[in-house]
Amino acid sequence: MRNNFLEIVRKVDILFIGCAFLLLAPVLTVQRTNDFIIFCIFVLAYNLLYGFMGRLSFGHMLYFGVGAYASALTAEHLSANPFAAIAVALVAGAGTGILLGPITVRTTGACFALINLAFNQVGYFLALIALAKWTGGEDGMAAFFDNIWIFDLGNRYVVFGFSLLCLLLVVYIMKRLTSSSFGILLRTIKENETRAKFLGYNTFRYKLAAFVISTTLSAFAGALSIINYTYVTPSFIDTTRNVEVIFASLIGGSASIYGSLVGGISYMIISNYLPKYIQRWEMFLGVALLLLVFRFRSGLWGYISETVEKYALKGARE
Amino acid sequence: MLLSVERINVSYGRARVLSDVSIHVNEGEMVFIVGRNGAGKTTLLKTIAGFLSPEEGTIRFGSDKVNALGPEEMALKGVRYVFQDKRVFTKLTVRENIQLAAYAAGVSLSEAVDKIVQLYPPITRFLESKAGTLSGGQRQILLLGRALIGDPCLLLIDEPTEGLAAGIIEEVFKVLEMTRRKVSMLIVEQNLAVVRRLADRVYAMKEGHIVAEVNTPEDIQNQTLLEEFL
């Protein structure tokens, strides 16, 4: 009975997530909830690598930034159609993944984290200095999009609705992906890659595929943030901001779609509202990280689901 | 001849672990390797499975030379390795463990599950449980069943009964007996009772060398002959 209930909940989770963000919007403001949604897409993309495949990246802002700059440059030089900008951002994200993936996915652990950081640093300086003629350097660049049919970008409710639909689409894709044999294999690579090879898997190909999907979805989040803000600056590709997505993953629980959403929302609430009450709010993040490491190793969502599972098992035994 | 290992040498760094080792396995045969700890039995299996490369000598699978192939390529050729430590993918459910093997072998999940249920019917009760919650014996049967998905040609099994209770050894024995003749097996085993019940031929290893080949049923059943090598 309990299992049936959980099954039903899982089937309608996308509806539930949609309703949750619709309810958040009047409380947090539409603009801010839109930020939350875009950040959640980024956390989901990040967690495909970190949570499901066990590769911690310190340089994922690169792929977010690539998407952001690609869509802004498209609006500036090619077409002001927002869908064209998103399409170019997706291609740029996938292209960057295909270009860098063969180097990065051969590595593991600290090497994987740092090699991504190195590429992120290169990307940051390209945007800031080397390509400043096109990117606007430190000042960044504005991106103005045409209105397409009912897609009026001047209306923040339309942008919010579009971002929410995009999030629900990404959640659906991630659900399908992580429950498929491909997703199971990624978790296996996380647990023991050598054993996966003995089953006949060329793990390199699967790791590369996961990396490219992750960079593409990160670029998608970057493109959406340009539609939301209508400008891009080097802060969109800044290496120091990688900590945001890492924290969000740890807070929510990395190897879970729901955990990514809980982490994304929790981090955004902390970073948006805590500075109002505590001047050096970043200190709180340090304390939160200590708590997570010592008390909630599987994140908030992981802790909740483990507790529910424990009580369900206890109830079944009684 | 399905597998032919000809005069291979394998080292870990400077330490020579296998010296001039030659063995063969025919189709449908169940061949055992016995020997003391450190004799090089597991190294030999790992070399055949593609995890290690021989410095000298040749490994042939069918008519192909497979010295330079990695574990995934050997698996695709139909060689499956069952590890000694009985480590399944603990965070996946039993069904997901099976699904993983089925996906690699290009077999449907239902077909793969049916195959393992035929080998060990009680597994149906654990399909949705995390594989980490299974007992050692159940894990071993899951590993054996998983290795059999997709009709492999050769199973390399490292100490299948090590650390198992007598009751579950019998279950593992039944699984091996059921698959006998359907697939060739090269098994490292210290439990001579199992060797005597199942072996077609036995190789004895000592300090990285093959020191004897026991290939008559009388010699395999001889109570003292094999014990000399342990």
- Can you give the pLDDT at residue B150? 87
Report yes or no: A187 at the B interface, CB cutoff 8 Å: yes
Look at B159 and A150; give whichever has higher pLDDT: B159
CA distance A197 to chain B (A): 5
**Which pLDDT tens digit goes with each residue over A16-32?**
999 999 999 999 999 99
Phi, psi (degrees; rounded to nearest 5) at A84: -65, -40
- For residues A252 and A260, the answer to whether their CB atoms sit within 8 Å is yes
- Can you give the pLDDT at residue A119? 97
- Can you give the pLDDT at residue B201? 95
**Residue B196's domain spans which residues?**
3-87+139-229
Would the CB atoms of A181 and B76 count as touching at under 8 Å?
no
- For chain B, which residues lie within 8 Å of any Cβ of chain A, measuring from their own Cβ? 49, 51, 70-72, 75-76, 80-81, 83, 87, 89-92, 96, 99-105, 146
Would the CB atoms of A192 and B83 count as touching at under 8 Å?
no
**Which pLDDT tens digit goes with each residue over B19-59?**
999 999 999 999 999 999 999 999 999 999 999 999 999 99
Mean pLDDT by 10 residues, chain A (318 residues): 63 91 93 95 96 95 97 94 95 98 95 97 96 93 87 87 96 94 94 89 95 98 94 95 93 89 93 85 81 83 84 73
- Can you give the pLDDT at residue B162? 86
Whichever domain contains B169, its CATH number is 3.40.50.300
pTM of full prediction above 0.90: no
Dist CA A38 CA A34 (whole Å) = 6
**Number of Cβ atoms within 10 Å of the Cβ of A207:** 24
For residue A188, give the nearest of B70, B75, B92 by CB distance: B92
- Can you give the pLDDT at residue A3? 57
For residue B100, give the nearest of A197, A199, A202 by CB distance: A199
Would the CB atoms of A184 and B75 count as touching at under 8 Å?
no
For residue A200, give the nearest of B87, B92, B104 by CB distance: B104
Parallel/antiparallel/unpaired status of strands B56-61 and B209-214:
unpaired
- Can you give the pLDDT at residue A73? 96
What is the SS3 string spanning A156-202?
Answer: HHHHHHHHHHHHHHHHHHHHHHHHCHHHHHHHHHHHHHHHHHHCCCC
Q: Does B1 score more than 70 pLDDT? A: yes
Would the CB atoms of A184 and B96 count as touching at under 8 Å?
yes
- Can you give the pLDDT at residue A2? 52
Domain-embedded: residue B101: no
Domain-embedded: residue B111: no
CA distance A192 to chain B (A): 8
- Can you give the pLDDT at residue A5? 61
Q: Does B223 score more than 90 pLDDT? A: no
- For residues A141 and A84, the answer to whether their CB atoms sit within 8 Å is no
Phi, psi (degrees; rounded to nearest 5) at B8: -90, 150
**Closest residue, chain B, to A188 (C-alpha):** B89
**Which pLDDT tens digit goes with each residue over A134-163?**
999 999 999 989 888 878 887 889 999 999
Task: Provide the domain count of chain B.
Answer: 1
All residues at 6 or more sequence positions from A187 whose CB lies less than 8 Å from its CB, including other chains:
A52, A53, A255, B89, B91, B92
Sign of CA dihedral A263, A85, A55, A203: positive
Would the CB atoms of A192 and B87 count as touching at under 8 Å?
yes
Work out the mean pLDDT of chain B and round it to a whole number.
91
Dist CA A36 CA A21 (whole Å) = 9
**Closest residue, chain B, to A196 (C-alpha):** B72
Selected residue of B46, B51, B76, B96 to mutate for chain A interface (largest A Cβ count, 10 A): B96
- Can you give the pLDDT at residue A317? 66
